[in-house]
Every structure is written in C-alpha cells, then in structure tokens.
Amino acid sequence: MAGVSKAVRSETDQRRRAEDQELTRAYRAIAQGGRVINVPAVIAQAGIDPQTFYPRLAWANATARVVRVSLGPQGRAYFGTRHSGSWHLTRRSRAHQLHVPDGSLPAWTWQARPTGWSSSAECAVPAIPPHLRPATSALEHYAIIWEATWTPIAPHDPLLVRMVGRSLAVIVGAWDLTELERAVMAARPVE
C-alpha cells in the first residue's frame, strides 16, 4: 500500500476487521448447530407480492412494533423501524435497518403500479412469544422476519433471528401466532 494515506489504510483495516468478526460469529453459530441465513438474499428470493408490489417478507429489529419498507425503482429496499419517534432508514442506525441492494427485487416504474401506490409501506411487527423471548437487554441484537401483509393486520408465521452481521442472521426460533395473539397485536396502538 505504498503511497496510500494512513487514514485510507485505517478505514480499510477497520472494514476488514468488521467483516472478519461477522464471519467469525457466523462460523461459530454454524459450529454450534445454528442455521445461518443471508437475510437480504432470503427477502430477494421470496420476491414481491404481485397484488401489492411490496416484498413478501418483512424484517424488523425485535424491539420494534412497526416496520416501514421503502422501495427504490432499481429493485432495492430499505427496512427501517421507528425508534425514539423517528424512522431509522440511515446507516447510522444499523441495528434498526436492513438494506436489500439494487437489483434484488424487480425494478418498477410509477406507471406500472396501481393508482395510489406508494414506494413505502408499513406493517405490524409480530410479538415474540415468552418461550422464545431473549432477555430485554439483548433484544436489540435480534430481529424478526415474517410474511408481510403491509397493513395493520398482524402476521401469521414469524422467525426470530439473531443478527451476526449486517446481513447474516442465525435462526433462533419460529412460531405461529394464535388468533388471540393476532387480536392483541391489532388492538395495540401504533407508535
């Protein structure tokens, strides 16, 4: 790296260290019998709902009650959660956002969408059942993935995952929400 400034080398070294730590956490989880998934790839593989034009799957930090997806015409998506009154859709709040890169989802044009369609939507985040719920202090390190309805209606079959990097997660548990749990979720106030 002759001729490269110390600042550039330092930034590259930090990025490599972060990637190495992510790989170490993922390999450790696999060695312990965990199933590691690439969350953006899973969301991309599930695709979009042809009626709503929104992703079939949603992702949210486990501390959230509502998630918002913002779609880009190049086939990208940002999932963000509201924290302290504002939506987290920026790099500063990585624990509260997920980026699905350009080209992952079908590209779109405004002309091809139904009247009144928006490039963003919100839906309720499922509650974690007590037998799967991590300690409250650790909840920020977990996320939930589920089949989204992109309405205030509660979902059916979420997964609890522990994020081991920006896009890699270990599946911790899966459950089906009962009609009673769905009714309670539907009645809780939106933040």
Tens of pLDDT, residue by residue over 27-60, are 898 899 989 999 999 999 999 988 888 999 999 9
* Of residues 103, 84, 92, the one with CA closest to residue 41: 103
Handedness of CA 54, 143, 161, 94 (dihedral sign): positive
Whether 98 shows a pLDDT value over 60: the answer reads: yes
Shared domain for 98 and 108, answered yes or no, is: yes
Is the model's pLDDT at 92 over the cut of 50?
no
Q: Are residues 7 and 48 in the same domain?
A: no
Residue 18 and residue 80 in one domain: no
Host domain of residue 77: 35-187
Per-residue pLDDT, 46 = 94
Q: Give the confidence band of 187 by pLDDT, cuts at 50, 70, 90.
A: low
d(CA 66, CA 59): 10
Q: Are residues 128 and 178 in the same domain?
A: yes
Cα separation, 17 vs 155, whole angstroms:
37
The Cα 62–Cα 145 span in angstroms is 9
Alpha helices in 32-166 (DSSP H): 39-46
Please check whether residues 24 and 100 belong to one and the same domain: no
16 and 93 assigned to the same domain: no
Residues 56, 89 within the same domain: yes
pTM, rounded to two decimals: 0.75
77/134 same-domain check: yes
Residues 164, 107 share a domain: yes
Number of domains, the chain: 2
Q: Give the count of beta carbons closer than 10 Å to the beta carbon of residue 14.
A: 10
Is the model's pLDDT at 90 over the cut of 50?
Answer: no
What is the rounded CA–CA span in Å between residue 150 and residue 44? 17
